[in-house]
Chains A and B, each alone.
Chain A
Amino acid sequence: MVPIAYYLILAAILFSVGVAAFLIKRNIITIFMSIELMLNAVNLTFVAFSHMWHQVNGQVFVFFVMVVAAAEAAVGLAIIIAIFRTRQTLNVDEINLMQS
Protein backbone atom coordinates (compact mmCIF):
# COMPACT_ATOMS: atom_id res chain seq x y z
CA MET A 1 0.00 0.00 0.00
CA VAL A 2 1.05 3.54 -0.66
CA PRO A 3 2.56 5.61 2.16
CA ILE A 4 0.66 8.81 2.85
CA ALA A 5 3.89 10.78 2.46
CA TYR A 6 3.82 10.01 -1.28
CA TYR A 7 0.44 11.70 -1.65
CA LEU A 8 1.74 14.69 0.30
CA ILE A 9 4.84 14.95 -1.88
CA LEU A 10 2.67 14.80 -4.99
CA ALA A 11 0.58 17.64 -3.56
CA ALA A 12 3.79 19.58 -2.83
CA ILE A 13 4.91 19.12 -6.45
CA LEU A 14 1.58 20.39 -7.76
CA PHE A 15 1.65 23.35 -5.36
CA SER A 16 5.19 24.36 -6.38
CA VAL A 17 4.31 24.11 -10.07
CA GLY A 18 1.32 26.35 -9.33
CA VAL A 19 3.55 28.89 -7.59
CA ALA A 20 6.02 28.82 -10.49
CA ALA A 21 3.25 29.30 -13.04
CA PHE A 22 1.81 32.17 -10.97
CA LEU A 23 5.13 34.00 -10.97
CA ILE A 24 6.23 33.25 -14.52
CA LYS A 25 3.19 33.58 -16.73
CA ARG A 26 2.09 36.92 -18.08
CA ASN A 27 -1.43 36.13 -19.23
CA ILE A 28 -3.92 36.95 -16.51
CA ILE A 29 -6.16 33.95 -17.22
CA THR A 30 -3.21 31.55 -16.91
CA ILE A 31 -2.27 33.17 -13.60
CA PHE A 32 -5.80 32.57 -12.39
CA MET A 33 -5.59 28.94 -13.49
CA SER A 34 -2.41 28.47 -11.48
CA ILE A 35 -4.33 29.65 -8.39
CA GLU A 36 -6.85 26.87 -9.05
CA LEU A 37 -3.96 24.40 -9.35
CA MET A 38 -2.64 25.48 -5.95
CA LEU A 39 -6.10 25.04 -4.44
CA ASN A 40 -6.32 21.53 -5.88
CA ALA A 41 -2.94 20.62 -4.40
CA VAL A 42 -4.14 21.75 -0.97
CA ASN A 43 -7.33 19.72 -1.44
CA LEU A 44 -5.23 16.61 -2.07
CA THR A 45 -3.31 17.30 1.15
CA PHE A 46 -6.55 17.61 3.10
CA VAL A 47 -7.94 14.34 1.72
CA ALA A 48 -4.67 12.51 2.45
CA PHE A 49 -4.66 13.72 6.05
CA SER A 50 -8.33 12.86 6.43
CA HIS A 51 -7.46 9.32 5.39
CA MET A 52 -4.58 9.23 7.85
CA TRP A 53 -6.69 10.22 10.83
CA HIS A 54 -9.66 8.05 9.74
CA GLN A 55 -11.99 11.00 10.09
CA VAL A 56 -14.15 12.70 7.52
CA ASN A 57 -13.51 16.28 8.67
CA GLY A 58 -10.80 16.83 6.08
CA GLN A 59 -13.15 15.85 3.29
CA VAL A 60 -15.82 18.27 4.52
CA PHE A 61 -13.20 21.00 4.50
CA VAL A 62 -12.32 20.10 0.91
CA PHE A 63 -16.03 20.45 0.10
CA PHE A 64 -16.01 23.98 1.48
CA VAL A 65 -12.78 24.80 -0.37
CA MET A 66 -14.40 23.68 -3.62
CA VAL A 67 -17.41 25.90 -2.97
CA VAL A 68 -15.23 28.94 -2.23
CA ALA A 69 -13.06 28.24 -5.28
CA ALA A 70 -16.15 28.14 -7.49
CA ALA A 71 -17.38 31.47 -6.14
CA GLU A 72 -13.91 32.98 -6.50
CA ALA A 73 -13.56 31.73 -10.07
CA ALA A 74 -16.87 33.30 -11.07
CA VAL A 75 -16.07 36.69 -9.57
CA GLY A 76 -12.45 36.66 -10.75
CA LEU A 77 -13.38 35.89 -14.33
CA ALA A 78 -16.00 38.65 -14.25
CA ILE A 79 -13.27 41.05 -13.11
CA ILE A 80 -11.00 39.84 -15.92
CA ILE A 81 -13.76 40.46 -18.46
CA ALA A 82 -14.28 43.96 -17.06
CA ILE A 83 -10.53 44.68 -17.24
CA PHE A 84 -10.35 43.41 -20.81
CA ARG A 85 -13.23 45.64 -21.81
CA THR A 86 -11.35 48.77 -20.76
CA ARG A 87 -7.69 47.88 -21.41
CA GLN A 88 -8.06 45.56 -24.43
CA THR A 89 -5.10 43.52 -23.18
CA LEU A 90 -4.59 40.39 -21.09
CA ASN A 91 -0.92 40.96 -20.36
CA VAL A 92 -0.33 41.79 -16.70
CA ASP A 93 2.74 43.85 -17.58
CA GLU A 94 0.54 46.33 -19.41
CA ILE A 95 -2.08 46.68 -16.67
CA ASN A 96 0.12 48.88 -14.55
CA LEU A 97 -1.68 52.23 -14.26
CA MET A 98 -4.68 53.06 -12.17
CA GLN A 99 -6.12 55.09 -15.03
CA SER A 100 -5.55 54.12 -18.62
Chain B
Amino acid sequence: MQLALFLIFGAIAVAGAFNLLLQRHPINSALSLVVVMMSLAVLYWTLGAEFLAAAQVIVYAGAIMVLFVFVVMLLNAGEEERTRGSRMAYIAGFPGAAAIFCLLSFVFLTEREAFGTTELGQYLGGTISNIEQISTLLFTKLLLPFEVTSVLILVAILGAVVLARKEQ
Protein backbone atom coordinates (compact mmCIF):
# COMPACT_ATOMS: atom_id res chain seq x y z
CA MET B 1 0.00 0.00 0.00
CA GLN B 2 2.88 2.32 0.62
CA LEU B 3 3.99 1.85 -2.98
CA ALA B 4 0.52 2.76 -4.23
CA LEU B 5 0.42 5.87 -2.04
CA PHE B 6 3.89 6.91 -3.14
CA LEU B 7 3.16 6.42 -6.85
CA ILE B 8 -0.19 8.18 -6.82
CA PHE B 9 0.85 11.21 -4.78
CA GLY B 10 4.29 11.37 -6.35
CA ALA B 11 2.64 11.53 -9.77
CA ILE B 12 0.27 14.23 -8.54
CA ALA B 13 3.20 16.23 -7.14
CA VAL B 14 5.18 15.99 -10.39
CA ALA B 15 2.10 16.91 -12.42
CA GLY B 16 1.52 19.94 -10.20
CA ALA B 17 5.16 21.02 -10.55
CA PHE B 18 5.04 20.75 -14.34
CA ASN B 19 1.76 22.63 -14.37
CA LEU B 20 3.44 25.44 -12.41
CA LEU B 21 6.09 25.57 -15.10
CA LEU B 22 3.79 25.44 -18.10
CA GLN B 23 0.92 27.71 -17.09
CA ARG B 24 0.96 31.30 -18.28
CA HIS B 25 -1.19 32.95 -15.61
CA PRO B 26 0.34 33.13 -12.10
CA ILE B 27 -2.90 32.22 -10.35
CA ASN B 28 -2.87 28.81 -12.08
CA SER B 29 0.74 28.35 -10.98
CA ALA B 30 -0.20 29.22 -7.39
CA LEU B 31 -3.02 26.68 -7.33
CA SER B 32 -0.79 23.95 -8.78
CA LEU B 33 1.75 24.71 -6.08
CA VAL B 34 -0.98 24.16 -3.47
CA VAL B 35 -1.59 20.73 -5.08
CA VAL B 36 2.15 19.96 -4.82
CA MET B 37 2.22 20.90 -1.15
CA MET B 38 -0.80 18.81 -0.27
CA SER B 39 0.63 15.72 -1.98
CA LEU B 40 3.95 16.31 -0.25
CA ALA B 41 2.07 16.27 3.06
CA VAL B 42 0.80 12.77 2.22
CA LEU B 43 4.36 11.71 1.36
CA TYR B 44 5.63 13.02 4.69
CA TRP B 45 2.94 10.97 6.42
CA THR B 46 4.07 7.79 4.63
CA LEU B 47 7.61 8.50 5.84
CA GLY B 48 6.45 8.58 9.45
CA ALA B 49 6.53 12.35 9.89
CA GLU B 50 2.97 12.99 11.02
CA PHE B 51 3.65 16.30 12.72
CA LEU B 52 5.39 17.60 9.61
CA ALA B 53 2.50 16.50 7.42
CA ALA B 54 0.09 18.53 9.55
CA ALA B 55 2.50 21.46 9.70
CA GLN B 56 2.92 21.36 5.92
CA VAL B 57 -0.83 21.61 5.38
CA ILE B 58 -1.36 24.31 8.00
CA VAL B 59 1.73 26.48 7.42
CA TYR B 60 2.63 26.00 3.77
CA ALA B 61 -0.66 25.31 2.04
CA GLY B 62 -2.78 27.20 4.53
CA ALA B 63 -0.76 30.35 5.18
CA ILE B 64 2.09 30.86 2.69
CA MET B 65 0.15 29.88 -0.41
CA VAL B 66 -2.85 31.91 0.73
CA LEU B 67 -0.47 34.87 1.00
CA PHE B 68 0.69 34.22 -2.55
CA VAL B 69 -2.87 34.08 -3.85
CA PHE B 70 -3.66 37.33 -2.01
CA VAL B 71 -0.72 39.09 -3.65
CA VAL B 72 -1.55 37.73 -7.13
CA MET B 73 -5.09 39.01 -6.82
CA LEU B 74 -4.04 42.30 -5.21
CA LEU B 75 -1.58 43.16 -7.95
CA ASN B 76 -3.96 41.93 -10.66
CA ALA B 77 -1.21 39.99 -12.39
CA GLY B 78 -2.03 39.12 -15.96
CA GLU B 79 -0.78 36.46 -18.31
CA GLU B 80 2.85 36.37 -19.22
CA GLU B 81 4.00 37.69 -22.55
CA ARG B 82 6.55 36.14 -24.87
CA THR B 83 9.42 38.57 -24.86
CA ARG B 84 12.93 38.25 -26.15
CA GLY B 85 14.23 37.50 -22.67
CA SER B 86 11.80 34.64 -22.18
CA ARG B 87 12.88 32.92 -25.41
CA MET B 88 16.52 33.10 -24.40
CA ALA B 89 15.60 31.70 -20.99
CA TYR B 90 14.00 28.66 -22.65
CA ILE B 91 17.35 27.88 -24.29
CA ALA B 92 19.28 28.11 -21.01
CA GLY B 93 16.62 27.00 -18.54
CA PHE B 94 15.67 23.52 -19.70
CA PRO B 95 19.23 22.17 -20.22
CA GLY B 96 20.33 23.58 -16.85
CA ALA B 97 17.45 21.92 -15.00
CA ALA B 98 18.00 18.69 -16.92
CA ALA B 99 21.69 18.75 -15.96
CA ILE B 100 20.87 19.21 -12.29
CA PHE B 101 18.33 16.39 -12.42
CA CYS B 102 20.75 14.03 -14.17
CA LEU B 103 23.49 14.73 -11.63
CA LEU B 104 21.20 14.19 -8.64
CA SER B 105 19.54 11.06 -9.99
CA PHE B 106 22.92 9.58 -10.94
CA VAL B 107 24.16 9.98 -7.36
CA PHE B 108 20.93 8.62 -5.88
CA LEU B 109 20.72 5.64 -8.22
CA THR B 110 24.33 4.55 -7.77
CA GLU B 111 23.89 4.57 -3.98
CA ARG B 112 20.46 3.04 -3.93
CA GLU B 113 21.39 -0.11 -1.99
CA ALA B 114 23.02 1.94 0.74
CA PHE B 115 19.84 3.90 1.34
CA GLY B 116 17.60 0.97 2.15
CA THR B 117 13.83 0.79 2.12
CA THR B 118 11.10 2.40 4.15
CA GLU B 119 8.71 0.80 6.63
CA LEU B 120 5.24 2.19 6.86
CA GLY B 121 4.50 3.43 10.34
CA GLN B 122 6.60 4.34 13.34
CA TYR B 123 10.22 3.38 13.17
CA LEU B 124 10.49 3.22 16.93
CA GLY B 125 7.73 0.62 17.07
CA GLY B 126 5.08 3.07 18.19
CA THR B 127 6.42 3.44 21.71
CA ILE B 128 6.96 7.16 21.41
CA SER B 129 4.74 9.25 19.20
CA ASN B 130 6.29 11.37 16.50
CA ILE B 131 5.29 14.65 18.05
CA GLU B 132 6.81 13.57 21.37
CA GLN B 133 10.08 12.78 19.62
CA ILE B 134 10.19 16.14 17.89
CA SER B 135 9.21 18.12 20.96
CA THR B 136 11.75 16.30 23.15
CA LEU B 137 14.49 17.30 20.75
CA LEU B 138 13.19 20.77 19.98
CA PHE B 139 12.64 21.97 23.53
CA THR B 140 15.73 20.50 25.19
CA LYS B 141 18.69 20.40 22.86
CA LEU B 142 17.49 22.87 20.24
CA LEU B 143 15.85 25.42 22.50
CA LEU B 144 18.14 28.27 21.45
CA PRO B 145 17.46 27.89 17.68
CA PHE B 146 13.76 27.70 18.48
CA GLU B 147 13.84 31.03 20.32
CA VAL B 148 16.03 32.59 17.64
CA THR B 149 13.49 31.62 14.97
CA SER B 150 10.78 33.38 16.93
CA VAL B 151 12.93 36.55 16.88
CA LEU B 152 13.41 35.97 13.14
CA ILE B 153 9.66 35.85 12.58
CA LEU B 154 9.25 39.05 14.58
CA VAL B 155 11.85 40.81 12.44
CA ALA B 156 10.18 39.50 9.28
CA ILE B 157 6.80 40.83 10.40
CA LEU B 158 8.26 44.26 11.08
CA GLY B 159 10.09 44.26 7.75
CA ALA B 160 7.00 43.24 5.81
CA VAL B 161 4.85 45.91 7.46
CA VAL B 162 7.42 48.63 6.78
CA LEU B 163 8.00 47.59 3.16
CA ALA B 164 4.37 47.27 2.17
CA ARG B 165 3.22 50.49 3.81
CA LYS B 166 1.69 53.24 1.74
CA GLU B 167 4.02 56.12 1.06
CA GLN B 168 3.02 59.27 2.89
- Please indicate the chain B residues that have their CB under 8 angstroms from the CB of A36 in the complex: 33, 60, 64, 68
Tell me the complex Cα distance, A21–B145, Å: 32
Q: Find out whether the CB atom of A51 lies under 8 angstroms from the CB atom of B52.
A: no
Does chain A have a CB within 8 A of B168? no
Q: Given A1-B117, A40-B60, are A33 and B101 neighbors across the interface (CB < 8 Å)? A: no
Q: How many B residues touch A, CB cutoff 8 Å?
A: 87
* Shortest distance from the beta carbon of B47 to any chain A beta carbon, whole Å: 5
A-B Cβ contacts below 8 A, count: 252
Cross-chain contact A10 with B14 (CB below 8 angstroms): yes
Bound Cα distance A71, B59 (Å): 11
Docked-complex contact B17 and A75, CB < 8 angstroms: no
Check A43/B17 contact, CB under 8 A, given A29-B72, A70-B63.
Answer: no
> Counting chain B CB atoms within 10 Å of each CB, which of A23, A24, A34, A72 scores highest?
A24
| Chain B nearest CB, measured from A6 CB (Å) | 7
Given A30-B26, A77-B67, does the pair A63, B20 have CB atoms closer than 8 Å?
Answer: no
Please report the total number of A residues contacting B with Cβ < 8 Å.
71
For A18, give the chain B residue with the smallest CB separation. Answer: B17
- Whether the pair B120, A48 counts as a contact (CB closer than 8 A) is no
Judging by beta carbons under 8 Å apart, are A66 and B59 in contact?
Answer: yes
Identify 23 residue pairs between A and B in the complex whose beta-carbon atoms are under 8 Å apart, listed by A's number.
A3-B116, A4-B115, A8-B108, A9-B105, A14-B36, A16-B98, A16-B104, A17-B20, A19-B96, A24-B90, A26-B89, A29-B30, A33-B20, A33-B30, A44-B43, A52-B115, A59-B52, A59-B130, A60-B138, A63-B55, A70-B153, A78-B159, A82-B163
15 more A-B residue pairs beyond the given contacts A14-B36, A72-B156, A77-B71, with a C-beta to C-beta distance below 8 A: A9-B105, A21-B17, A21-B20, A30-B20, A36-B68, A37-B20, A37-B36, A47-B47, A51-B118, A57-B137, A62-B52, A66-B59, A70-B156, A93-B83, A93-B84
Going nearest first, the 5 A-B pairs with the smallest beta carbon separation are A23-B93, A20-B97, A71-B156, A16-B101, A12-B104
